[in-house]
């Protein structure tokens, strides 16, 4: 799960002449070389494995550095040469293409590692978005790192983050869960494991299973705000927002949507504080079992009430029970 830093106002950069460039964490540091335009005028990328993010729809979303890496690589490994060839043709890139996907990865991986050992510049792309995110490449990266071979990235588009920013739901703490299991029992079990997580949830889902998945989310996760994003960055981009149950009913009635879908679900509502009489019962039982300090800590986590207030009440209860 990724969690952003606290107050977003603290991330704003200040302008000033001659100041050192600062990294996002506040420390000074150099960035990777920034290519000039057009990419053909730049030096070739360093030897190693380059993970290059590609557009999720609009071909204009590829980064300048990504284009420079693709142009300067010795070879590009991709999921489907027909898909990647369209991107390369758009920008006049003629780097040789080879396939690396779920069905041939075990056979092709040794050849990729051998090329890296020879000092070649190898780019890895998926059909759309950031490599390794629900796409092949994780085992290749692990194998390259295990041998001490260089691995770097030219970051860019991601359907999960694009949907999150468009959803209108809290982006400060989120879990990207990828695709849910296909079978309903396994899907419901997975959802139950995240039901109490205080974070926005992000899922990829196939259009034919969308309505059923949303219905399970509504039942397991409860009444939460959500958004279904599809065709992101494309001509017919759509983000439909509403409660989970309402979205499930919409897609049940309208049928599977066209295009890839991302489901974003808001975090659970804070639990209501128990009534005073109920709180005393809970505190009394917890103090008898756990002691004052741990009882106050546990009930603070469960109820959201201030720990110091619960501690004072627990002390009073303990003294009264003595």
pLDDT tens for 222-231 read 999 999 999 9
pLDDT of 309 reads: 87
pLDDT of 42 reads: 63
Q: Are residues 202 and 93 in the same domain?
A: no
Tokens of 150: 């260089």
CB 100 within 8 Å of CB 113 = no
Q: Are residues 287 and 193 in the same domain?
A: no
pLDDT of 182 reads: 95
Answer whether residue 186 is part of any domain: yes
Which residues span the domain enclosing 251? 160-265
Q: At 314, is the pLDDT very low, low, confident or very high (cuts 50, 70, 90)?
A: confident
113-127, 168-182, 201-215, 283-297: range with lowest mean pLDDT: 283-297
Number of structural domains (the chain) is: 3
Answer whether residue 20 is part of any domain: no
pTM, entire model: 0.74
Tokens of 52: 């290059």
Answer whether residue 4 is part of any domain: no
Euclidean distance between CA atoms 77 and 102, whole angstroms: 12
Q: By three-state DSSP, how is residue 117 classified?
A: helix
Assess whether pLDDT exceeds 70 at residue 10: no
Euclidean distance between CA atoms 164 and 168, whole angstroms: 7
Q: Are residues 185 and 240 in the same domain?
A: yes
| DSSP letter, residue 168 | T
Euclidean distance between CA atoms 167 and 165, whole angstroms: 6
Q: Which alpha helices (DSSP H) does 30-104 contain, by range?
A: 64-72, 81-90
Domain end, chosen from 116, 131, 157, is at 157
Taking Cα atoms as reference points, which of 66, 49, 38 lies closest to residue 129? Answer: 66
Q: pLDDT digits over 172-181, tens only? A: 999 999 999 9
pLDDT of 30 reads: 55
Q: At 290, is the pLDDT very low, low, confident or very high (cuts 50, 70, 90)?
A: confident
**Mean pLDDT for the chain?**
87
Q: HSE on the CB side for 153, CA within 13 Å? A: 12
CB 112 within 8 Å of CB 123 = no
> Which residue would you say has higher pLDDT here, 184 or 279?
184
Q: Are residues 174 and 254 in the same domain?
A: yes
pLDDT of 283 reads: 87
Query: 38 preceded by cis ω (within 30°)?
Result: yes
Q: pLDDT digits over 259-268, tens only? A: 889 999 999 8
Assess whether pLDDT exceeds 50 at residue 17: no
Answer whether residue 270 is part of any domain: no
Q: Are residues 149 and 208 in the same domain?
A: no
Answer whether residue 26 is part of any domain: no
- Determine the average pLDDT of the residues in 99-121: 97
Which helix (H) or strand (E) covers residue 240, if one does?
strand 238-243
Q: Are residues 260 and 290 in the same domain?
A: no
pLDDT of 37 reads: 53
Taking Cα atoms as reference points, which of 92, 93, 69 lies closest to residue 153? Answer: 69
50-54, 184-188, 245-249, 316-320: range with lowest mean pLDDT: 316-320
Q: At 277, is the pLDDT very low, low, confident or very high (cuts 50, 70, 90)?
A: confident
Q: Are residues 109 and 44 in the same domain?
A: yes
Euclidean distance between CA atoms 270 and 293, whole angstroms: 23
Q: What is the residue whose two structure tokens read 């557009």? A: 55
Q: pLDDT digits over 147-198, tens only? A: 999 999 999 999 999 999 999 999 999 999 999 999 999 999 999 999 989 9
Q: What is the residue whose two structure tokens read 């302008």? A: 15
């Amino acid at each position: 799960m990724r969690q952003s830093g606290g107050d977003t106002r603290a991330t704003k950069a200040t302008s000033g002449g001659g100041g050192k460039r600062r990294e996002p964490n506040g420390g000074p540091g150099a960035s990777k070389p920034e290519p000039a335009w057009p990419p053909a005028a730049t030096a070739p990328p360093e030897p190693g494995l380059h993970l290059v993010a590609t557009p999720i729809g609009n071909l204009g979303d590829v980064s300048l550095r990504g284009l420079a890496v693709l142009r300067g690589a010795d070879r590009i490994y991709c999921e489907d040469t027909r898909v990647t060839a369209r991107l390369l043709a758009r920008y006049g890139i003629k780097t040789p293409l080879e396939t690396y996907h779920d069905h041939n990865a075990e056979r092709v991986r040794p050849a990729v590692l051998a090329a890296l050992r020879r000092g070649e510049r190898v780019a890895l792309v998926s059909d759309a978005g950031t490599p390794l995110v629900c796409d092949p490449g994780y085992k290749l990266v692990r194998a390259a790192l295990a041998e001490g071979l260089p691995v770097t990235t030219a970051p860019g588009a991601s359907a999960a983050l694009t949907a999150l920013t468009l959803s209108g739901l809290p982006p400060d703490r989120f879990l990207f869960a990828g695709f849910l299991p296909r079978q309903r029992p396994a899907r419901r079990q997975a959802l139950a494991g995240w039901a109490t997580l205080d974070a926005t949830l992000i899922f990829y889902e196939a259009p034919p299973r969308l309505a059923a998945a949303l219905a399970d989310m509504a039942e397991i996760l409860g009444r939460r705000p959500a958004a279904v994003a599809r065709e992101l960055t494309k001509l017919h981009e759509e983000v439909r927002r509403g409660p989970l149950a309402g979205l499930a009913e919409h897609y049940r009635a309208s049928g599977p949507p066209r295009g890839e879908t991302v489901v974003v679900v808001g975090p659970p509502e804070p639990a209501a504080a128990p009534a005073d009489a109920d709180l005393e019962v809970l505190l009394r039982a917890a103090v008898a079992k756990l002691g004052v300090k741990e009882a106050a800590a546990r009930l603070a986590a469960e109820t959201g009430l201030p720990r110091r207030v619960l501690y004072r009440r627990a002390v009073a209860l303990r003294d009264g029970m003595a």
